[in-house]
Structure 1
Amino acid sequence: MPQYTLYGHGRSRAMRVAWMLEELGQEFDWRPVLPRSGEMRRISPLGKVPVLVVDGTPLRDSVAIVQYLADSHGALTAPAGTLERARQDALTQFCVDEIEGALWTAAKNSIIHPVGLRVPAVKAVCRHEFAVALDTLAGLLGAGPWAMGERFSVPDILFGHCAAWAKLAKFELPGGPVGAYFTRLAERPAWGRVLSRLADAA
């Protein structure tokens, strides 16, 4: 079995990697390292989190890591080269571009950028873009319980993590089908185990 070590604190995109590992039933060591710390830069020259070290090899970028894990374990993903995978990848990109993009821009102008470079007024634009993206998501969700229908997959982890991020950022989440979908995601046992690990480490 591969040996996994996850680097990244509990209020970062490391959460989605931990969620995928829990969904796959994989054991992993989780080290809550801060971005751009000395330890993080020794692991990855970018200094960004998360990084997943797999048998001594560091992997960067949370979306790439989550998809790698799904592919390598043959679970929670459509096979590469299929139309279903193209649909799945399109949902992944939609989440990153439209939903996460609004949250990340707001975060950069709240806590990430130096104070003198922050533009607080842009957060109103981010909230608008976020709301529009969730309206679009309502049209993308089909009759199944998950983004791809009956099968829980990579985009669900990304959407679910963004919903949790939005709550922390005090972005308004909708009711209706999208709200019900987010509730189902939050009730996943694997997500509960991620939150329990964070609580135990606090």
Structure 2
Amino acid sequence: MSLHLISHALCPYVQRAAISLTEKGVTFERTDIDLSNKPDWFLAISPLGKTPVLVVDGTPIFESAVILEYLEDTQPHALHPHDALDRARHRAWIEFGSAVLNDIAGFYSAPNEKALEEKVAALRSKFLRLDAELGEGPWFDGHRFSLVDVVFGPVFRYFDVFDTIGEFGVFTGLARVRAWRHELERRVSVKNAVSEDYPTLLRDFIRRRNSYLSQIMQTGGPKKTVTQVRSADR
């Protein structure tokens, strides 16, 4: 079986597919494209014009959730639980992870401090729910690495860069979430799902947004809180 992952260097949904493929020990080819200048061949196989696309023996599969389920159906080393109710619960938390990604996009795109603080509050609220859901770890499902972990690896990776920009307090006091984040940082499949220049690429992407977070990067310097930046602007 020939597997070809069409990718974008920053896309968290691509990372899900790459992590799953790696966890399953599957050989695959990966090609990055520029989503701001999509090649015609890509548009021909991606009806929504989005990454990831997994081309299986010449047949394209698009949308990350579909790709993950296809890999579960066809490849070894299952990442979903065997029990149907447990699988449903995991799928629900995968959707929750996608909602977190939407809040992250709102965070780095927020036009002003108020909007940014609202997104900080939304993110913290979601991670509070997760902290209450997590057990003793090290993974979401205890000692079994699952697709929920696959989904949250790219989520936490954003904060590796956000933490160099400011101290936003999203994870303050959330011991279980922080421990989970630390374990995911060290997982080989998660680390290798992006290139070494990912942090630089993400910072450049944020800078070009001309958002409030961009302003913090440009005027506040590293490790400035939102309040400190606001005071400095007065």
String of CA shifts for 1:135-155, please: whole Å, max 9, x gaps: 111001012321122211101
Question: 1:103–1:86: structure 2 CA closer, same or farther, 3 Å change rule?
Answer: same
Q: Which residue of 2 aligns with 1:25?
A: 25
> What's the secondary structure of 1:150's corresponding residue?
coil
Question: 1:51–1:123: structure 2 CA closer, same or farther, 3 Å change rule?
Answer: farther
Pick from 68, 77, 84 the counterpart of residue 70 of structure 2: 68
Whether the 8 Å contact between 2:14 and 2:64 is mirrored in structure 1 is yes
Runs (5+) with no aligned partner, structure 2: 202-234
Q: Which residue of 2 aligns with 1:96?
A: 98
Letter of the 2:80 partner, please give it: T
Pick from 58, 69, 75 the counterpart of residue 56 of structure 1: 58
Tell me, in whole angstroms, the C-alpha distance in 1 between the residues paired with 2:126 and 2:118.
12
Greater RCO (Cα-Cα under 8 Å, separation 6 or more): 2
Tell me, in whole angstroms, the C-alpha distance in 2 between the residues paired with 1:47 and 1:100.
19
Runs (5+) with no aligned partner, structure 1: 111-118
Whether the 8 Å contact between 1:51 and 1:59 is mirrored in structure 2 is yes
Tell me, in whole angstroms, the C-alpha distance in 2 between the residues paired with 1:168 and 1:17.
22
Q: Which residue of 2 aligns with 1:132?
A: 125
**TM-score w.r.t. length of structure 2:** 0.71
> What's the secondary structure of 1:177's corresponding residue?
helix
**TM-score w.r.t. length of structure 1:** 0.82
| Root-mean-square deviation (Å) | 2.4
Runs (4+) of structure 1 exceeding 4 A deviation are 169-173
Residue 165 of structure 1: how far off its partner (Å): 2.1
Residue 70 of structure 1: how far off its partner (Å): 2.5
What's the % identity of the aligned pairs?
29
Query: How many residues are treated as equivalent by the alignment?
Result: 188
Report which of the two structures shows the higher radius of gyration computed on alpha carbons: 2
Tell me, in whole angstroms, the C-alpha distance in 1 between the residues paired with 2:169 and 2:21.
28
Q: Which residue of 2 aligns with 1:44?
A: 46
Q: Which residue of 1 aligns with 2:225?
A: none
Tell me, in whole angstroms, the C-alpha distance in 2 between the residues paired with 1:10 and 1:88.
27
Q: Which residue of 1 aligns with 2:115?
A: 122
